[in-house]
Amino acid sequence: MHTNFRTHPRRTRPLHYYINHICFDAFLAQHVSPTMNRLLAELHLFIISYLTPQDYPNYRLISTRCVDVGASLIFSSLNFTASTHNIHRAHHMANTPNNDLARHVKSLHYNGEPYRGTCISVLGSIIETLVHAGAPLSSLTTTCLPYYFFTPEHFRDAFTRCCMDLTHLALDIRWYVSEVHTFDAVIRSGTLRNLLTALVRLESLSLRFGPENSMKRGRAGHVATMYTGPRPRLRDVMPLHRNWPKLQKLDMWFVSATVDELLGLLRQYAATVNELDLAGIAICRRDGRRELDNRRLGLAWRSVVEALEGFEYLRRACLRERTRNTAVGTWDWWMRGCVLVETDIGRYLAHSV
């Protein structure tokens, strides 16, 4: 029996034609031909569950009732890029009657790579436009966001106010070469740390720093490019005094920290975090210089692993000096309880015995 209606060999008309002529036993008994406008919202959602996201726009063309029901699915998650066209797109959504489109936006993904030169103003304009139009934004994910987005002279306080209700935040920050700004000066200005301080409802935080170009995984027998860029201090990017009582997932890539800073951060969320990923972490001295021998690094990482054993709900934890992007072939990993440790860190632990 052919169960996939979308590819049925006898299907000769568009999908919305058949959906618009669905009849139910209750209506057939009364010899009434139903229309899509007379169906309950629950039945609309039941029908939509059999469609793919690509069919949602077509579903909205069937009737006025389908317009309202389909909008909650189509516009709940949106993708934007760093182009002025997307600013006009956001303004169009905000200017629809009664803000019918903007009020459905809950999740936003922003890619700053294609037009990085205009990235400073585009992201802020999109967020502010949608939130002021009533968008219940709860999730923000950025890809290839230039670090100079957080320069004090360009960063707007209105952006922070619009992000205060976020529960999910993922920032992929790149150190693109700039003739005007320097990475250390922007990070130490505290703009990023102040943004995180203002967030009070975070349940998931991903803060990843990376190079200008994405590193590709090396093939077996070939040496992959290692990350040699700047690693900001943990105290400069994370509000160590802030406690998010509902934080469950924490990712930190390519930062440097003293062992006391790292242990303080872990102990602060030992009662809530269940997923942890620490990659490219450079343990340094208090003055920021990394001059620890293997034995001291081993003692530092051993104290980190022991701190993770005190987590109440931890399901998954990864400790890596590098990321999988810089791997050559396949890395060897070993498990210590529920903590997944990279080979290099495993060697440090062995030196500390």
Dihedral, 326, 308, 271, 206 alpha carbons, nearest 10: -10
Verdict on whether the full-model pTM lies above 0.85? no
Does 5 fall in a domain? no
- Can you point out the beta strands (E) in 90-203? 107-111, 139-146, 168-174
Does 196 fall in a domain? yes
The count of C-alpha atoms lying within 13 angstroms of the C-alpha of 52, restricted to the half-sphere facing its C-beta, is: 6
Q: What is the pLDDT of residues 90-117, one digit of tens each?
A: 888 788 765 567 888 899 999 887 555 5
226 backbone φψ class: left, alpha, beta (φ>0; ψ -120 to 50): beta
Q: What is the pLDDT of residues 184-204, one digit of tens each?
A: 899 999 999 999 999 999 999
Number of domains in the chain: 1
> Quick one: what percent of the chain has pLDDT higher than 90?
26
Does 22 fall in a domain? no
Token pair in block for residue 212 = 């200008």
More confident residue, 83 or 183: 183
Does 260 fall in a domain? yes
Does 313 fall in a domain? yes
Domain that holds residue 282: 68-351
- CA 118 to chain CA centroid, nearest Å: 21
Does 242 fall in a domain? yes
Position 26 pLDDT exceeds 50: no
Does 206 fall in a domain? yes
- DSSP-H helix ranges across 222-312: 234-237, 259-268, 294-308
Number of helices (H), then strands (E), belonging to the chain: the values are 14, 12
Does 35 fall in a domain? no
